[in-house]
Amino acid sequence: MKINRNYLNLKDSYLFSTINQKVTAYTTSHPEKKIIRLGIGDVTRPLCPAVVDAMKAACDDQGRADTFHGYGPEQGYDFLKDAIRGYYDKRGTSLEPQEIFISDGAKSDVGNILDLFSPDNTVLVPDPVYPVYVDTNFMDGRKILYMNARKENHFLPLPDENVKADIIYLCSPNNPTGAVYDHQGLKAWVDYALKNQAVILFDAAYEAFVSDPALPRSIYEIEGAKNCAIEFCSLSKTAGFTGTRCGYTIVPTQLQFDGASLNKLWLRRQTTKFNGVSYIVQKGAAAVFTPEGLMQIKENISYYMENARMIAEALTQMDIYFTGGKNSPYIWLQCPEGMASWDYFDLLLEKAGVVGTPGAGFGQNGEGFFRLTAFGTHEATKEALERIKSL
Ligand code: MLT
């Protein structure tokens, strides 16, 4: 038996597992320390009442023979797909039910979609980047090109006609930098992809944090995107589903590459390798899109954005450069005094008991930067900022 040797090209462990191991080692040896975690983007607000009620009712359905559901459609129940269509409709994007695929979250689909693409495609990712895009392509042995996301371009790289790529990853609002593309920026990418017959994999996991109506929340707000882009979205950050798991992927029916429909290939892949998300979770997810659910998740998002405001205020007072925190739950700051990002991570952990994410974990351009999330509680965020200030 031979292994997939591409795995040997990966770092020993996934970024957030490495951080977890470091924090666990530290807390084991310093059990008296009260650690505040603003590292991995995990939410702290509970599921909203509309979701909980819908899931409880769905549990009752599952306990009665006449309302019991066994295997569901692999691509999701119509009740949830219709709710998502309504959500997009309100923003002027019309979707067909067969273009929506319900999954257990954006991370799985972002990795799984690669089943559809030949390993000899060239991949283009921003640097810094959400490590899943890079690691999943390493696993298949694809060639990866990096485009610089730096202060000079406001962390929003634009296409370079001299660079030829087949698969392009875009994440807006961006993880980790918090930068958000405007219509013009996304249009440049759509034009590039159409011209070069490339596919855009658009990660919209943080779209719900965009409050500026002038900024796009979906790539399909850009003309032509349905001919070149797949969109991934998740309820993890939008509605607190990190532990409940539900997301969706949009594969437009007109997406044709190499003489094949990507929508048909993805349907074939999903029906073969996936048995769908549980009925109970899908019922909870559908409740997110009801007027009541949307109002309740908006309150939670405002709660997190108040944390972002507090973090931004504290960094401004400390005269530390940062970006993000507006239309995004991530704050991307420059490590003080030219520190390397893992050194700053250790310093904050050991001297302030605060966990963040070192920028170097997101790529070379992340060196010297550090990510804080706005997903903590108000109390913990406030306390963390006080500790950082006194340090
Ligand atoms: C992050 O912290 O970057 C995210 O929470 C990771 C994820 O969504 O998988």
Best residue among 108, 175, 331, 372 to mutate for probing ligand 1's pocket (most ligand atoms within 8 Å of CB) is 175
Side-chain half-sphere of 15: how many Cα atoms within 13 Å? 24
Q: What angle do CA 300, 302, 306 make, to 5 degrees?
A: 120
Task: Express each pLDDT in 294-318 by its tens digit.
Answer: 999 999 999 999 999 999 999 999 9
Mean pLDDT of 215-240: 98
Mean pLDDT of 213-232: 98
User: Residue 234 to residues 171, 188, 237, 288: CA-CA distances in angstroms?
Assistant: 13, 25, 7, 12
Q: Is 105 in the pocket of ligand 1 (CB under 6 A)?
A: no
Q: Is 355 in the pocket of ligand 1 (CB under 6 A)?
A: no
Cα–Cα distance, 298 to 292 (Å, whole number):
10
**Residue 61: pLDDT above 90?**
yes
Those residues whose C-beta lies under 8 Å from the C-beta of residue 19, and which sit 6 or more positions away, are 39, 40, 345, 355, 357, 361
Instruction: Tell me if residue 290 falls in helix, strand or coil.
Output: coil
The protein residue whose alpha carbon is closest to atom 4 in ligand 1 is 41
Q: Which of 239, 211, 247 is nearest to 300 (CA)?
A: 239
Contact 367, 247 (CB under 8 A): no
Enter the pTM of the model. Answer: 0.97
Task: Express each pLDDT in 264-298 by its tens digit.
Answer: 999 999 999 999 999 999 999 999 999 999 999 99
Cα–Cα distance, 347 to 131 (Å, whole number):
23
Using the mean position of ligand 1's atoms as its centre, give its distance from the Cα of residue 180 in Å: 17
Residue 115 pLDDT grade (very low, low, confident, very high; cuts 50, 70, 90): very high
Name the CA dihedral angle for 93, 95, 99, 104, rounded to a multiple of 10 degrees.
70
Q: Is 107 in the pocket of ligand 1 (CB under 6 A)?
A: yes
φ/ψ of 102, rounded to 5, equals -85, 140
Best residue among 14, 40, 234 to mutate for probing ligand 1's pocket (most ligand atoms within 8 Å of CB) is 40
Cα 339 → chain centroid = 27
Cα–Cα distance, 345 to 315 (Å, whole number):
16
Contact 316, 88 (CB under 8 A): no
The protein residue whose alpha carbon is closest to atom 1 in ligand 1 is 41
For the chain, percent of residues with pLDDT exceeding 70: 100
**What is the structure's pLDDT at 13?**
83
Residue 97, preceding peptide bond in cis (omega within 30° of 0): no
Residue 193 pLDDT grade (very low, low, confident, very high; cuts 50, 70, 90): very high
